[in-house]
Structure 1
């Protein structure tokens, strides 16, 4: 299966991506991993991305999408994949759709992990790290910063929910509860999606 995993900061995407991909037998692919591999491997795209990253600027979509397209063309992803952290905008989603089309593929399902904002703030602001023998809170995990991050997510990434819903690909997953419970809900949604797509007309 070819799956995209959506969800706000603190929803547990990283954890669920690894578990779900393992159960599906496909690679879990994050944009962070792709960036690191290209930069450390000093690929042409990696060097271009590094100039933006070193300047503190966002890497342009065309570079990000090209990196993702190259990764999805690798042998281990030909039988399927789970994308975590991409796409982040509707423009990237449209480019992903076109790139998959060029490879002769399409998305099978988009899973959106849904968590109440107060719960997200509680989860993120409760994180601590050990510094000089003391547990301290990171600046970006303070409640007011967390709420700003969630606001940015709502503005930039949440519209993807509507985009994929209108394409008939979206399944919303209640992401509150034990990790294995959330995984079971996600797998059930994927099974239902697979059954529906095999019975229904080609969605293109």
Structure 2
């Protein structure tokens, strides 16, 4: 996942290489894709930094209906998180972090209301689908991305280092095409991790 700046109750980013095809109407949500990569909520304790790339364990997926679009929100945990071994599917979230999914759903329900937009809705009776279902969605969106980047009709840059079958495949990227991402600030040897660099889950029970 690519990490973007914190403004959320988890680390929020995107899952590359994926694309939610706006020409595809999902048979379960009855809505088209939102023309974005798959969004992802990483629920581990360490707060990420902008541009960070992490390997995550997928747990499930939430189908947010943003207007007429399906805006999938993948739920995952960093494989290096201390609790990663305890999380293997969607039901493990309520066991180890009770209330987090409810808070996540409420966050996405109301986050556009300050801009005067209506509350968002969800498919599947507002439930979250499991890991197996999430994996199918990811595979479908990955296939859509591969088709998109292989097609010259979309007016997008298709230069890449990963798709050998693509006409835009190169063995290296020119320096002027590399995105200048910030690097993580390293702590001095022996210093404790700042409390500001962690998420804290609070159980109200």
Structure with the larger helix share:
1
Instruction: Tell me, yes or no, whether TM beats 0.5.
Output: no
TM-score by length of structure 2 reads 0.25
Larger relative contact order (C-alpha < 8 A, sep ≥ 6)?
Answer: 1
Structure with the larger strand share:
2
TM-score by length of structure 1 reads 0.25
